[in-house]
Amino acid sequence: MSAAHEVRPYRDAFAPYWHPVAYSHELRDAPLPARLLETDLVLWRTGSGVAASQRYCAHRGADLCSGSITPEGLRCAFHGWTYGESGRCVRIPSQPQTPIPERARLATFHAAERHGLVWVCLSPEPAAPLPEWPELADTTTVATVPLPRLDWDIAAGRMVEIVLDVAHLSFVHEGTFGNPDQPEVPPYDVEKRSDGLSARIVYPALAPGVGGAPPRVDRTTLTYDVTFPFAARLSFKPTLFYPHTVYAVASPWSEEKMQCFYFASYHPRIRNFADLFVKSESAILEQDRRIAEGQRPRAHPLDFAGEVLVKADRLPIEYRRALTALRSGRPVDGPPLE
């Protein structure tokens, strides 16, 4: 029996989870468009936090991203209807003496701001908390640098899989971070939790040359940590380059398209880290994009049919197994690994 017949539809499966929809710095004093699981949203800042609602006005369907923020709430640019953060219309300027219809309201969604991101959950009851990354809380010891959103034509699960794929480093990332002379993946363990998984591996990566020096081979400890469904954290502890941690959080637009919020944390006393990271990581990710957008099927597979898997693939395969279990609501066996 195929797993594809048992699992929930994609949107139903992932709507109960928190997903990032914007960087915090992108949401200023104007409404901001966002999209999640084929749902168009408008985000705005309230007096106490952030709000997310349906993007189009309940009156005549105008785009609320063209509106403005007032002390009462989000005001539509077309006729000035204004919505509070609960979604209820609180002002209809064209007939101020008439009671506001009960149906004059927007569908609203849970919204929260954490880790430099704006997160939304489309379901009334979130199935899991936001990822816990306590190391980001102390800005005296940690600075962060974001990359522009990655807008790729791949499934969110495919994005996480490529982050977790150890065997591709020596091939896809030749010339940047990968070491083509060390393609063999040493044995490693995967720790499985109810909310994610983690693994640690030592990889002889190339460290970028600092100050114009050529890259050097560096013994780098990679620590992978995933929070289901689509948040990956990867810590780099090199001996020659700066230690840092990368956060890749894929946000599903649809079953076959995602945006990824990708940023790094590092010690703020490393003054040139941000410039180095943006330059080198952008080149690394472009190498990934060319491979990932070419994978088929475009939707993230739910089973392992049609793939021949080996032990070196264990981490991305354990991730897919867990994601399939999440969609089917029951444990799923992994495939045989050659």
Q: Which residues bind ligand FES (CB under 6 A)?
A: 57, 59-60, 62, 76, 78-79, 81
The minimum distance between CB 80 and ligand FES, in angstroms, equals 6
Nearer residue to ligand FES within complex by CB, 106 or 172:
106
The minimum distance between CB 77 and ligand FES, in angstroms, equals 7
Nearer residue to ligand FES within complex by CB, 44 or 228:
44
The minimum distance between CB 64 and ligand FES, in angstroms, equals 7
The minimum distance between CB 55 and ligand FES, in angstroms, equals 12
Nearer residue to ligand FES within complex by CB, 60 or 279:
60
The minimum distance between CB 105 and ligand FES, in angstroms, equals 12
Nearer residue to ligand FES within complex by CB, 104 or 260:
104
The minimum distance between CB 51 and ligand FES, in angstroms, equals 17
Nearer residue to ligand FES within complex by CB, 70 or 272:
70
Per-residue three-class SS string for the chain: CCHHHCCCCHHHHHCCCCEEEEEHHHCCCCCEEEEECCEEEEEEECCCCEEEEECECCCCCCEHHHCEEECCEEECCCCCCEECCCCEEEECCCCCCCCCCCCCECCEEEEEEECCEEEEECCCCCCCCCCCCHHHCCCCCCEEEECCCEEECCCHHHHHHHHHCCCCHHHHCECCCECCCCCCCCCCCEEECCCEEEEEEEEEEEECCHHHCCCEEEEEEEEEEEECCCEEEEEEECCCCCCEEEEEEEEECCCCCEEEEEEEEECCCCCCHHHHHHHHHHHHHHHHHHHHCCCCCCCCCCCCCCCCCCHHHHHHHHHHHHHHHHHHCCCCCCCCCC
Nearer residue to ligand FES within complex by CB, 23 or 78:
78
